[in-house]
Amino acid sequence: MLQVRKSEERGLAEHGWLSSRHTFSFAGYWDPQHMGFGPLRVINEDRVQGGQGFGTHSHQDMEIISYVLDGALEHKDSLGTGSVLRYGDVQRMSAGTGVRHSEFNHDAAETVHFLQIWVMPEKQGVKPSYEEKHFDEASKRGQLRLIVSPDGRDGSLRMNQDAYLYASILDSGDKLTHTLASGRLGYVHVARGSLTVNGTRLNTGDALQIENESSITLEAAEAAELLVFDLPR
């Protein structure tokens, strides 16, 4: 079964300093038909104006992943971590028993554009932890680069869930296939560009839920950057 989530159908939040698109119900956007997919709970596409950001706030029992597309995202948390993330950088924070953090646009003049992803944890009440890593374009070009996994394999970040997150940059005509084990779910989010997924055309901001399929076949109609999730039910 394939279910398309079109970019223009996502929830919209405009706060002046923040422009956000919500794939699933979040904050003031509520749609009982879009509450998540498997343990995938949030994909927010955020654009934050220069010098602005999210003040210190708390999270608990959630795996939070940030994937920066443009600009510079400054992060600080109660674990003592502080860093500035740029294109190619991926951050994973396991909130566990509780963590407080803030996220700001590090650049006063340029917009920061990033995807914030929340995945429900496999185990609750774990010790909070943080990781970040840079994945250069070459490692993603023409292939699926594992960036987050439950065991940290292949240099990926480690997540408290039996889920795998891949990133890819495809040139027009590139074709890839990812096999899904029996009972697994697939989810594809297009960060930019255009491609077909199992024969379904997706454009920038579109996504596809994949259920009861044995594989995910990606074919770029033009240059594209995308995320692929391999999820438990």
Confidence of residue 144 (pLDDT cuts 50, 70, 90): very high
Q: What confidence tens digit (pLDDT) does each residue in 57-106 have?
A: 999 999 999 999 999 999 998 998 889 999 999 999 999 999 998 999 99
Which burial class, exposed, middle or buried, applies to 73 when counting CB atoms under 10 A from its CB (0-12, 13-18, 19+)? Answer: buried
Q: What confidence tens digit (pLDDT) does each residue in 162-215 have?
A: 999 999 999 999 999 999 999 999 999 999 999 999 999 999 999 999 999 999
- Long-range Cβ contact pairs of 21-24 (< 8 A, separation 24 or more): 21/45, 21/205, 23/189, 23/207
Confidence of residue 110 (pLDDT cuts 50, 70, 90): very high
Q: What DSSP string runs through 179-226?
A: E--TT-EEEEEEEEEEEEETTEEEETT-EEEE-S-SEEEEEEEEEEEE
The domains found in the chain, sorted by start residue, are: 2-231 (2.60.120.10)
What integer pLDDT is reported at residue 77 of this predicted model?
87
Cα separations (Å) of 19 from 22, 48, 99, 201? 10, 7, 25, 25
Distance between CA 181 and CA 212 in Å, rounded?
10
Helix (H/G/I), strand (E/B), else coil: 137: helix
The pair of structure tokens assigned to 161 is 């869930």
What integer pLDDT is reported at residue 82 of this predicted model?
87
Q: What is the DSSP letter of 9?
A: G
Q: Which amino acid is at 180?
A: L
